[in-house]
Amino acid sequence: MEYSRLGRTGLRVSRFCLGTMNFGVDTPEAEAFAIMDRALELGINFFDTADVYGWKQGEGVTEQILGRWFAQGGGRREKVVLATKVYGPMGDWPNQGRLSALHIRRACEGSLARLRTDHIDLYQMHHIDRDTPWDEIWQAMDLLVQQGKVIYVGSSNFAGWHIARANEVAARRNILGLVAEQSRYNLLERTVELEVAPACAGYGMGLIPWSPLASGALAGSGRRDDASGRRGGRWGQELINKHGEKLRRFEAFCAELGHEPADVALRWLMQNPVVTAPIIGPRTLRQLDGAMHALDVKLDQAANARLDDLFPGPGKPAPEAYAW
């Protein structure tokens, strides 16, 4: 396994992040346990979840599965850099969602109980909350850090200016600020290259791509059913319908390289200096083992140029991408 520092921190994490969104939905608990055990065997030490995963409001189904796995002992919790998220609705009552100081503190306590741990290594805001001032958010987050319940704070689905605003307010408060951003990023969706990726680079944050295979559309025709879960299937099919010819040319190019499309798509992300670790969300052990082949892919300048021709990005960061 390859490892990288998480942004500007001294924390070392695996170049793959194990996504757990399928656990308790498409993946039964016993198989989820086997996948997590296998991930540790492979050297994956970075696990990502969220309080809303499992999609039963307020229950934190996936976090509970991780908690029962940690409770088996054997150094499981100690070996894992654990990331979870706060924002989504955990009930229908006021203040049971979003990023008020009240909800952040209550949500953290709920996640800690479900995960059966005394701290969260990376606590991520699942979405921007435009209604809550940053001083309030950072007051709540900093208290959790001081209490030892959270070590690092990250964001997810933020725009570039959200990242800048959050970090500038944090700097004014003399605290560490955001250390990572989790964004949708893949060969078909490169919008983050305009401002999010440059913001991450500028502030020393790790970029953690979610949906690196575009809901299975980039997995290749032979692996698409394996690569997309129940929620990803519809999104993936829409992308396949929209980009069918482009995807066929991509698969042909990958055949020339001698690699599976999924492995090429993952490696393309991993070679970006700002990317810490793409999130792989296996539903089965076979999918987890298959993802490891991406570590063997080498993409030279000519291969990257071909990929840019097939899947053009903005070309440059903003404003040069559209101005001068």
pLDDT, residue 225, reads: 56
Prior bond to 282 cis, omega within 30?
no
pTM, to two decimals: 0.96
152 is catalytic: no
| Rounded CA separation 78/96 (Å) | 30
Q: Return mean pLDDT, the chain.
A: 96
Instruction: Mean pLDDT check: name the lowest of 95-99, 137-141, 239-243.
Output: 239-243
User: Domains, the chain, ranges and CATH?
Assistant: 3-310 (3.20.20.100)
Express each pLDDT in 46-76 by its tens digit. 999 999 999 999 999 999 999 999 999 999 9
Using the predicted structure, report yes or no on whether residue 301 has a pLDDT greater than 70: yes
Active-site hit among 53, 87, 152, 185: 53
Angle, helix 61-70 to helix 101-115, in steps of 10 degrees: 40
DSSP secondary structure string for all residues of 146-194: HTTSEEEEEEES--HHHHHHHHHHHHHTTS--EEEEEEE-BTTB-GGGT
